């Protein structure tokens, strides 16, 4: 079982290098190049979208997202080119690194943190504003000047 997992991991690594090569090949259509570039940049980025120290989810991208991206790229490539790219990848020594992929992941985290901070400040601001309205009788139309709840009865003549 461990040998099979090792072969699978090596094949994924080789296919990652192959799609990195495919992203630079002029025979590949632009849409396949775009997907190949994104998948290769993410696969070879030194920074993960989900950090590995998070239990279970940390390895989800390594086990699911990258292979799914590779499968999508292989599906988009013209027939026969992937075998050539795999052969070139097998003969290549080393693995490319992607600074662009790392920068992209950092940007995703920055945007996520900014959106989370904006939501949190809006939420906290609304909570504080609502609590202030309950304490200030002048700002709360349902309370009188003495702070007691005012019960208003609407009459049919009030609508006219």
Q: pLDDT tens across 112-157, in order?
A: 889 988 888 887 776 666 655 555 555 555 666 666 666 666 656 6
Mean pLDDT of the chain: 77
Q: pLDDT tens across 40-59, in order?
A: 888 877 777 777 778 778 77
CA distance between the termini of the chain: 82
The answer, as to whether pTM is greater than 0.75, is: no
d(CA 124, CA 118): 10
Q: pLDDT tens across 84-123, in order?
A: 888 888 887 666 666 777 777 788 888 888 998 888 888 7
- SS3 assignment, position 133: helix
d(CA 62, CA 67): 8
Per-residue pLDDT at 18: 87
């Amino acid at each position: 079982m461990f040998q099979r997992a090792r072969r699978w991991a090596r094949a994924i690594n080789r296919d990652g290098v192959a799609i990195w090569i495919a992203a630079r090949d002029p025979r590949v259509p632009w849409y396949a190049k775009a997907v190949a570039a994104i998948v290769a940049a993410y696969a070879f980025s030194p920074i993960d979208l989900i950090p590995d120290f998070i239990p279970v989810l940390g390895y989800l991208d390594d086990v699911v997202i990258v292979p799914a991206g590779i499968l999508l790229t292989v599906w988009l490539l013209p027939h026969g080119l992937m075998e050539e790219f795999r052969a070139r990848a097998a003969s290549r020594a080393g693995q490319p690194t992607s600074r662009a992929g790392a920068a992209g992941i950092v940007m995703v985290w920055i945007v996520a943190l900014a959106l989370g901070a904006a939501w949190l400040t809006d939420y906290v601001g609304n909570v504080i504003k609502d609590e202030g309205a309950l304490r200030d009788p002048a700002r709360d139309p349902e309370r009188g000047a003495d702070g007691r709840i005012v019960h208003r009865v609407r009459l049919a003549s009030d609508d006219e």
